[in-house]
Chain A
């Protein structure tokens, strides 16, 4: 790699120092400076770029949200009008309900399946690596590709899923058409991609649980099921919290799958917004309707939503495994 590294310039000692060898004094001065200052040089690229592309947009979004904001035109300060309008906007709440609904519908089965899968992957079997790689394949597949393939599989007339259901005398379903069916379709896309990843993360944590615990329990006659609930789950608590965090952020910012499921990137999320998410709502308000102030207010409400969601999930997951 040819990366250019800037060494911080050593401080120049005064032209004539009264004491000692100049060389030693100088290098000592440099060493002291090096110890104190270089760490800040090392972390500064991150914080500099982060300030520009992370902190600034966040704060500025709030400023924009207080305005009737046109990109190259008028910017009228309107206070909290955008927020007030948003709170009474049925379309916004529809997007919130969709987002939360699909989040719950995807995350709960996903983590349950991931636990089962991790437990299976933790057993002694030939070709371990092969299985681990296999369940990670979906993660490697890009979200857009996943959405395209699944949207076709869920196709009304020629989709494989409707064909399969027809074997059980179920009539062809137009998956885009209704809330529940669209939610199911999109949730399966999310779960297909992320279950294996979560299983691998949980597996890593499972392997740090001392095997003696299980062996002792087995000798005491505890069944495999009991071991799973009484040893595995409580010991996995921190990792489960971690996976819930990751899923919460991913789930509440859901965008690509529903956009591609629609076919037309109008951000409408179906004819009556059956699967429009908050992220789609924001993009629609800003870049289809050019109502930037409104979009910015929605972005801040999404942020608040994520904070609340994370807190609820945290307090809920804390109770897993019978801790006090």
Chain B
């Protein structure tokens, strides 16, 4: 036995050094694989949310905002989700290079496969509605999420440019209704057939209108579209808060009762 081996065996015995159990290494390896797959799946979910935001975005209104399509595109892209997608790809890559024997695979093939997997799963998530669900959950529960996503309310709250959104609080007749915008101002909207997407609109619905401001609080609608449910949620929540702060029943307006003439007067004052 050489001096080195003697010294090492002595240290092993004196310090009671033992080989670490096999299960520890197995768990570590599985955990790295798990983190890799998880990062890809979260990346896929980011892709689904990003796609959902892009698909649901109102791409046709840039003209009314006096912007070029490029300006509008740069204003509208979901940067946070794009960044998250890139970040999770980074995490997936980091996890991958910690998987045992990773270097035996062609890195560009693994990257391509990861992108393919993330985009594929992302599309499945998107068509299954997960993207929309995640976006809605975050909108409802994460206080600052609204600040980092494209503010649709801001986009549609330009009555002078012909864009108006809000909640229908009263149907006057077949071609006229009263709409309350997010700031609480009430508008008399004139329309030819009061239909949204070829169906009759109802009191309490949130709508987005393309048209033109006539005077004061009168607006002529050329095109009325249904606001997406997420915006409706935001609107109802905002209204509930307003009602709470004014001391009235929080559910009253959101649930359609108590949004009559008395409220209309208050709205006009605003």
The judgment on whether A and B are partners is no
